[in-house]
Amino acid sequence: MWTAMTFQITASLPGVCNSKNIELADAKGKSTRSFSFRWYSPFALRTAYKVERTKSMTTDLGQRVALVTGAGTGIGRAIAIDLARAGTKVLVCGRRRELLDQTLNKFPDSSAGKAYTVDLTDPAATEQLAADINKDSGDVDILINNAGFSSKIRSARHIGAEEWQSVMDVNTLGPVILTKSLLPGMIKQQRGDVIMISSLAGLRPNVMAGAAYSAAKAAARAYMEVLSSEVRRHGIRCTTIFPGEVDTPILDNRALPPDADARATMMKAEDISAVVMTALQLPHRATVLELSIGATEPRDMSADIKAALDKEQH
């Protein structure tokens, strides 16, 4: 017969879960059986659940290695800085070393990044870049194909072969060769992100963006669709971002560069970076395949279109 009961209460999760151990003893004090009970604080339990759910809803960018192309200015610089702030090891590349160094100097820890100068229109140099990065930093698992170029000649009637080829090489050939060179590391890890910074011109080709630039960005979109269908089974997410007008140095290459008033209504580089960071931080089970983003306030582009069509402007 049980004649005595002893109780021991412990808190296994303070404020959330409490447990009670009950031991049953006979007349001689010898333990014969024990039971355990637990009860929960509903409010604390809901709070703990929300915290854990929030953690599961985002992807930690720490301990990852990212390469951002065209990171010396504009959107590329903004993305590189935001990634560095998130704890990612960020590698940057571009043609001008001084601009890349300026980007690194804006990192929380400039020594944590590394810059590479490269001409991405040169396939051999691009492949060598990938080899150097793999040797220096290991496998890249976030690739931001941001480098872009647009010619001053926008008209399909007036653009020449050399300018057409230059636009295509920067916007399509470079990203294709670089992505191909870095994919083996992502496939080995069964995880990775490839993000292409395209343009609304890739969705809606137009004279102001130019014939060559519109065609190049449309081609980049098609490439990303095919790439995604091939590599998603390896845990690699492919995302294409289509920004509208963004106040960056590439606008200076237009037949009629926008003035300060026009630029004031445009999106900024950090706006596009925010979209990229959101896509990267989603749970890995979710992929933003495509996303277009434009300025809230429209502007009159009639003068820009006229300049793009005017042969005398070229």
Catalytic residue check, 40:
no
142-145, strands of its sheet edge to edge:
114-117, 89-94, 65-69, 142-145, 192-197, 236-243, 290-293
Whole-angstrom Cα Rg for the chain: 27
**CA-to-CA dists, residue 232 to 159, 177, 184, 279, angstroms:** 38, 19, 13, 15
**CA-to-CA dists, residue 59 to 104, 107, 308, angstroms:** 24, 21, 43
- The one-letter amino acid code at 83 reads L
Counted residue by residue, the chain has a size of 314
Q: How many CB atoms lie within 10 A of CB 84?
A: 24
Which of 266, 197, 268, 194 is CA-nearest to residue 232?
Answer: 194
Strands (E) located in 41-127? 65-69, 89-94, 114-117
**Active-site choice (40, 49, 116, 213):** 213
Tokens 């009637």 correspond to: 157
C-alpha 266, offset from chain centre: 21
For the chain, give percent helix, strand, coil, nearest 5: 45, 25, 30
**CA-to-CA dists, residue 226 to 100, 240, 267, 289, angstroms:** 31, 12, 29, 12
C-alpha 8, offset from chain centre: 52
Torsion, Cα 76 80 83 87, to 10 degrees, reads 170
Write out the catalytic residue numbers.
213
